[in-house]
Structure 1
Amino acid sequence: MKSLFARKIFWILFVIPNALSVLYFGIIASPQYISESRFVVAQADDRSAGALAALMGSGSYSLGGAYIIHDYLESWEGMLAAARQFPLRQAYGSNAIDPIGRLGGLWYYETSEVSLWNYFRSKVVDGVDDRDNVSTLQVYAYDAASAKALNTLLLAQSQDLLNRLNQEKAAEATQVAAANVKTVRARLQADGARLADFRDQHLLFDPSQQATIQMDMVSRLKEAVLRKQSELSTLEAATPNNPGIPNLRNQIAAMQSQIQSQGTVVSGSENSFSSHGVEYDGLVAEQANDRQLLLSAEQGLQTAQLNAQHGQYYLEILSPPNQPPEPQYPRRLESMLIVFAVTLVLWSILR
């Protein structure tokens, strides 16, 4: 009875597992190729260091950026993005692949999106070295060209992800400054509209300038009146009955009336230059102030844009994806020897 039990244990724990191991690893298992690439995630202030710094273990590269890529490659969104541009189901679910290793086979028997995601994560491995911040991306596939193509695609999508993050960060950093520029520009346009309305309403372009012109005219008229009065006095003293005296008096009276009229235009009435000058000067001062504010706001926007570029992420490839010349898996002899050793130990313990 004991001998029969021992024989059953021998067959169950040793013979059958080793026979299946030889059958699968020796004959059935499909060869797998590994395409490998290495990269670092640099930040804007550190790009000048170059890839050599990473190879020498420089600490100028972003570990946080490396883990952003790591998390993305393992994420649902990362899988869906890859599936949109690469035939994952055809590459991993083909009937040419062994029934245990393929998608929809004995191990990954479901073919849902979630199963595809889990399968994808088993075939895409991104390892991050915390010492030098170098990431190693390995893609497992059942032909060399597919492994390289998927690795290349994942690197490109990782760079796209960093670009989107950089754009979002820049937009967030400059949003307030851009809104301030927009507000001040609107105010400046309103200032111009108010000045145009003022000039159309009062038929004045610049009250102060026009008042100066009018005052110059009044001054010249006053000088002319003085000359005429001096001439009149001379004529009256020399020839009181001179027939030109009345005409000269009329000229003086006309000029004095004109002086009074021009003085009223400059000041002394509701429509005078002086009464509109205060309003006009206020509009001009407000426009000048808003121009200065716009200049400051535009400088603030430029500063925000420059600041937003600091700390942005960039993908630097240290070694591009390779196309493996031969399969790395399965390790047939090694796998069969491991099964043999494990089953031998179990049988030795339980016999």
Structure 2
Amino acid sequence: MPKARKFRIRPDAGFNRPGVKVPEGGLPETGMTVIAPAANDANPAEGAEPTGRQLRMARRIAQKHGIKVASDHEAVAALRARGIDPFERSNMLELVPGETSGDAAVPAIARPAPLPAEPSAQVLDDRARAGEIMEIQRDIMRRRRRKLALLLTRLGFFVALPTFIAGFYYYVLATPMYATKSEFIIQQADTASAGASGLGGLFSGTGLATQQDSISVQGYLLSRDAFQRLDRDLGFRAHFAQPEIDALQRLEPDASSEDAYKLYERMVEIGYDPTEGVLKMEVIAADPDVSAAFSRALIGYAEEQVDNLTSRLRDDQMAGAEQSFASAEGRMLEAQTRVVDLQEQLGVVSAEAEVSNSYSQIGVIETELRAERLRLDQLNANARPNATRVQVATANIARLQQELDTLRSSLTDGAADDVSLARVTAELAVAQQDLVTRQLLLQQAAQQLEVSRIAANRQVRYLSTPVPPVQPDEPTYPRAFESTILAFLIFSGIYLMMTLTAAILREQVTG
């Protein structure tokens, strides 16, 4: 039941004014007792002194009419100057919120909703009350339908219409595109895993060992250099500039290199899986054969890039080892040539053999010399020695002694045009020792060259293609249904954010 507010009710006053019928016990349906204003609130006669309440009411009436006054009496004078009676009951009732002019004998009933100026003694029956409630419900329904219509209009304009346009493009206008998918892995040579040790051996068989190379190859395939090579080799720009391709995917004939490169980034997608070390590539084109050709060309570029990644390191390692080996080999050949020259110059193949031969000859001559001396001593031991035999023995001893002296002098002193055997032996020994040293250095250089070759082989990377590019037989794009749903979600999200932003701004402004 609606409840009315009591406005300036005097407990000691009663309804004694004519024309007002108030049932005993209060107003019907509300149960509220309405009390008439006090007698002293009546309009005072001319010349009577107004009460304090009437003065305050007069000042409020003046404020309502926009009259600025400094006191209550000044407000009464100002209102009377304008022809307004401040003590008239209708003027006082106008100060009650929601009330209009009416019978001045009945005070206003303050309530949340405006009530008629004159309370009526008519009692609302159930049927009338139900009608009022139905009218209120119908008004609420009308407002709800109006708000719902506005909401549907906004949704249709901001969400449904853009979604329909996107779906129409994907289903009708979009040119079918063919995607060729392939996968390739960058691996090390087998010698790397065989010779790896320590921390490097832990990652030799995983994708972490070639992670940096895989990322480098991925960056190269998405670079401008790869795009320019593909355009020169297979005509990337000419393919996407065909008039059969729709306007959103077609590349204009006079398009700049930047626009062509942006299209290349959209049509070539390369992803890297660090856990497995696999590079996954998808190449999109308007023709399946062209798509597969583009994919094979990019894999060839990747193989060249993999070779170039470690070629400099391999070349540096092999260059130093090969240079050391060539230097050691040249010095060994020089030492060997010196030994041969000494042998040819001295006529001695082996100094040790010559010395051994000389010593053997000296030994034989010394033996013969000793035998001749013994024979001479035997001849001289006779009383009458044979002079001829003595002379022959003496001559043999002298000849043997001369030969012995010659052999011994040849070991240390050479003739005028000859070199002593000792010098020959020393020079040959030095030359041969130098030759042996050069041979050892050559052997070490050969070993170092082999080690460098193995290390260079460890740095070798090669590209393996577990999933080769195969041309598709059906178009991969556009995915009309998925793309339309995605467009619907995007436009719905944009509309929701705009609505929330507008609501927040409205609340901030009105608050």
- Superposed displacement of residue 266, structure 1: 0.9
- Superposed displacement of residue 231, structure 1: 2.3
**What's the TM-score, normalizing by structure 2?**
0.57
Could you tell me which residue of structure 2 aligns to residue 255 of structure 1? 400
Greater CA deviation, 296-305 or 315-324?
A: 315-324
Is the Cα–Cα contact under 8 Å of residues 314 and 459 in structure 2 kept in the other structure? no
Alignment counterpart, residue 297 of structure 1, candidates 421, 445, 449 = 445
Which digits, 9 at most, give the CA deviation of each residue in 1:175-230, with x for residues without a partner? 22222111111111111222233234333333333122112111111111112222
Greater CA deviation, 22-31 or 259-268?
A: 22-31
Computed over aligned residues only, the root mean square deviation of the Cα atoms, in angstroms, reads 3.4
Is the Cα–Cα contact under 8 Å of residues 321 and 448 in structure 2 kept in the other structure? yes
Residues 75 and 60 of structure 1, relative CA distance in 2, 3 Å threshold: closer
- Superposed displacement of residue 19, structure 1: 7.8
Is the Cα–Cα contact under 8 Å of residues 208 and 274 in structure 1 kept in the other structure? no
Could you tell me which residue of structure 1 aligns to residue 251 of structure 2? 103
Residues 116 and 285 of structure 1, relative CA distance in 2, 3 Å threshold: farther
Could you tell me which residue of structure 2 aligns to residue 139 of structure 1? 283
**What's the TM-score, normalizing by structure 1?**
0.80
Is the Cα–Cα contact under 8 Å of residues 215 and 266 in structure 1 kept in the other structure? no
Alignment counterpart, residue 223 of structure 1, candidates 349, 362, 367 = 367
State the one-letter code of the partner of 1:140. I
Could you tell me which residue of structure 2 aligns to residue 189 of structure 1? 333
Greater CA deviation, 144-153 or 286-295?
A: 144-153
Paired residues for 1:267-306 under 5 Å: 267-269=412-414, 271-306=419-454
Paired residues for 1:147-166 under 5 Å: 147-166=291-310
- Superposed displacement of residue 115, structure 1: 4.8
Alignment counterpart, residue 385 of structure 2, candidates 230, 240, 257 = 240
Residues 344 and 167 of structure 1, relative CA distance in 2, 3 Å threshold: closer
Count of equivalent residues = 330
- Superposed displacement of residue 263, structure 1: 1.3
Is the Cα–Cα contact under 8 Å of residues 208 and 273 in structure 1 kept in the other structure? no
Distance 2:172 2:339 in 1: 91
- Percent identity among equivalent residues? 20
SS at match of 1:167: helix
Could you tell me which residue of structure 2 aligns to residue 89 of structure 1? 237
Alignment counterpart, residue 29 of structure 1, candidates 161, 166, 174 = 174
SS at match of 2:476: coil
Is the Cα–Cα contact under 8 Å of residues 32 and 143 in structure 1 kept in the other structure? yes
State the one-letter code of the partner of 1:137. M
Could you tell me which residue of structure 1 aligns to residue 211 of structure 2? 63
Distance 2:314 2:359 in 1: 57
Greater CA deviation, 16-25 or 199-208?
A: 16-25
SS at match of 1:40: strand
Distance 1:340 1:59 in 2: 40
Distance 2:368 2:241 in 1: 108
Greater CA deviation, 275-284 or 219-228?
A: 275-284
Residues 274 and 242 of structure 1, relative CA distance in 2, 3 Å threshold: same
Which digits, 9 at most, give the CA deviation of each residue in 1:65-112, with x for residues without a partner? 21121012112333344345433234333333334323335xxx5254
Distance 1:91 1:259 in 2: 103
Residues 59 and 18 of structure 1, relative CA distance in 2, 3 Å threshold: closer
Residues 211 and 101 of structure 1, relative CA distance in 2, 3 Å threshold: same
State the one-letter code of the partner of 1:300. Q
Distance 2:185 2:158 in 1: 47
Paired residues for 1:119-134 under 5 Å: 119-134=263-278
State the one-letter code of the partner of 1:289. T
- Superposed displacement of residue 293, structure 1: 1.1
Greater CA deviation, 220-229 or 160-169?
A: 160-169
Is the Cα–Cα contact under 8 Å of residues 160 and 488 in structure 2 kept in the other structure? no
Which digits, 9 at most, give the CA deviation of each residue in 1:306-351, with x for residues without a partner? 123335323232322232221121233444555566668878969x
State the one-letter code of the partner of 1:152. R
Alignment counterpart, residue 266 of structure 1, candidates 411, 423, 446 = 411
State the one-letter code of the partner of 2:176. P
Residues 235 and 78 of structure 1, relative CA distance in 2, 3 Å threshold: farther
SS at match of 1:110: coil
Distance 2:410 2:225 in 1: 76
Distance 2:330 2:360 in 1: 39
Residues 250 and 85 of structure 1, relative CA distance in 2, 3 Å threshold: farther
Is the Cα–Cα contact under 8 Å of residues 207 and 274 in structure 2 kept in the other structure? no
Distance 1:95 1:260 in 2: 112
Residues 286 and 252 of structure 1, relative CA distance in 2, 3 Å threshold: same
Distance 1:176 1:275 in 2: 40
Is the Cα–Cα contact under 8 Å of residues 46 and 60 in structure 1 kept in the other structure? no
Alignment counterpart, residue 326 of structure 1, candidates 474, 495, 499 = 474
Could you tell me which residue of structure 2 aligns to residue 308 of structure 1? 456
State the one-letter code of the partner of 2:299. L
Distance 1:236 1:185 in 2: 68
Is the Cα–Cα contact under 8 Å of residues 40 and 61 in structure 1 kept in the other structure? no
Distance 2:320 2:493 in 1: 70
Residues 347 and 309 of structure 1, relative CA distance in 2, 3 Å threshold: closer
- Superposed displacement of residue 268, structure 1: 3.1
